[in-house]
Amino acid sequence: MRSSYFIVFAFIALTACKQTKPHQLSIKKKKTRVQHAYIPAKISGDTLIIRSTSAVFIDPDTIRIEKEKKALGEDDFYAAADDNVYYMSTAEDYLNKHKIKVEHIGDQKFVKFIQSNNSSTLVKVDTLTSIWSLYLFKPTKDPMDLSPVEIEELYKLYFK
């Protein structure tokens, strides 16, 4: 009886270790997908720093609003302001629909766009000709100052 247990045990042990194919070392290649995550805008003192694909809306502060009111007159200023607010709102809706991160500049005096090659563009807010401005930015390109009236055409042109 012992010999039959031994034979069964030996048979199981030998068949369990048997390989039908020679053992091959295989290396599986994994595809690495690079995903450019959004890097949040950073405020450093009086500068808004942008490093990833974004749209930056520059709205006037109270000082610039008062200067424009004096330059244009109150009635003309408010008529222009209504138009600008409408077009900026429409542009923001369009950009949100296309999943572009939107930043609004507050009291910062500068916007610094840093490209993927570490070159940068610095925009001094109070020197802009229009008190309402919109910039599109992609790290592989220079930032683009554009009119919100033409957002659809210029968006397609810039982000091709």
pLDDT at residue number 160: 85
Higher pLDDT, 28 or 140: 140
The model's confidence at residue 15, banded by pLDDT at 50, 70 and 90, is: low
Residue 1's alpha-carbon distances to 5, 10, 11, in angstroms, are 7, 14, 15
List, for residues 32-63, the tens digit of each pLDDT value. 443 344 456 666 678 999 999 999 999 988 88
Q: How far apart are CA 80 and CA 85, in angstroms?
A: 9
Which pTM does this prediction carry? Answer: 0.71
**For 105-143, what is each residue's pLDDT tens digit?**
878 889 999 999 999 999 999 888 888 999 999 999 999
- Residue 101 pLDDT greater than 70, yes or no: yes
Average pLDDT, whole number, for the chain? 82
Share of the chain above pLDDT 90, in %: 58
- In the chain the first and final C-alpha atoms are separated, in Å, by 82
What pLDDT sits at residue 32? 41
Helix intervals (H) in 40-150: 62-72, 74-97
